[in-house]
Amino acid sequence: MAPDTEVGGPAGDAGSLSATPLSATPRTRHRRLREQGSTDRADLLAVLRAGFIGHLGVQTQQGLMVIPTVYGFDEQHAYVHGSVASQSLTAGPSEVCLTVTIVDGLVLARSVFEHGVNYRSAMVYAQPRIVTDPDERLAGLRLISEHLTPGQWDYVRQPNRKELAATRLLALSLAEASVKVRTGPPADADSPDAELGLWAGELPLDARWRQPMPDPALPAGLLPPPHISSRAGNEAHPR
């Protein structure tokens, strides 16, 4: 799988669900700035594809926690992983919320009130499920690895039995999710503030991958494989 170009995985064939609209629930219905919202499942998958860090909101015995985490996904599930000892990776009665946000730039208006951010964001609400099926566990872990660096799963040594036993994988259904995207200039061009003679516009943010930095312990002359070196200069969060 190459997440930069397609979505697929253990839960279904690519393209089978992308045309299905997102569910409208009290938590996902867009009440404010509805023009920025989307009910297109393809837009959800596009945000998940463009990001690679999510924030997982969970309820624990110590209270509410929001955990930064990498993730992988297919058309039906997002997958997150961590240590079996982690109190945030349980499958209790409480639902969780996985949020992915990509900042594309600042919106600098003529008044402080109209300032904003151009962004892409998705929120997934789900009852977490601990993945125990051996095939789905490997497939889910591969989705995470390949989402971060396509080609790396087959390049490096894959997890052994001891490492798998120490790893917990959670599956989060994408059945209930919300997407919002903002693009474009400030919204005050037609307001009285336009007469102030102040500069207004967008300050884009362009995050790109830099050249790979080798581990100092590597032997001289060992070059990064093409699936790593070819990413240098590419957008980190492509549209």
Sign of the C-alpha dihedral computed for residues 223, 225, 228 and 233 taken in this order: positive
Measured in whole angstroms, the distance separating CA 151 from the mean position of its chain's CA atoms is 19
Predicted local distance difference test score (pLDDT) of residue 2: 34
In sequence order, what are the beta bridge partners of 73?
Answer: 78
Burial status of residue 144 (CB atoms within 10 A of its CB: 0-12, 13-18, 19 or more): buried
List the beta strands (DSSP E) in 91-155. 96-108, 116-126, 129-130
Predicted local distance difference test score (pLDDT) of residue 157: 97
194-199: list long-range contacts, CB under 8 Å, 24+ apart.
194/110, 196/110, 198/110, 199/108
Q: Is residue 28 part of a domain?
A: no
On average, the pLDDT of the chain sits at: 88
CB count in 10 Å sphere of residue 210? 9
Query: pLDDT tens across 44-77, in order?
Result: 999 999 999 999 999 888 889 999 999 999 999 9
Domain that holds residue 122: 34-229
Q: Is residue 238 part of a domain?
A: no
Q: Is residue 38 part of a domain?
A: yes
Q: Is residue 8 part of a domain?
A: no
Closest by CA position to 150, among listed 57, 66, 74, 226: 226
Sheet holding 72-73, edge to edge: 72-73, 77-83, 167-173, 129-130
Q: What is the CATH number of the domain that holds 128?
A: 2.30.110.10
Predicted local distance difference test score (pLDDT) of residue 30: 58
Please count the structural domains in the chain: 1
Query: pLDDT tens across 176-235, in order?
Result: 999 999 999 999 999 999 999 999 999 999 999 999 999 999 999 999 999 999 999 999
Residues in the chain: 239
Q: Is residue 134 part of a domain?
A: yes
Q: Is residue 29 part of a domain?
A: no
Q: Is residue 2 part of a domain?
A: no
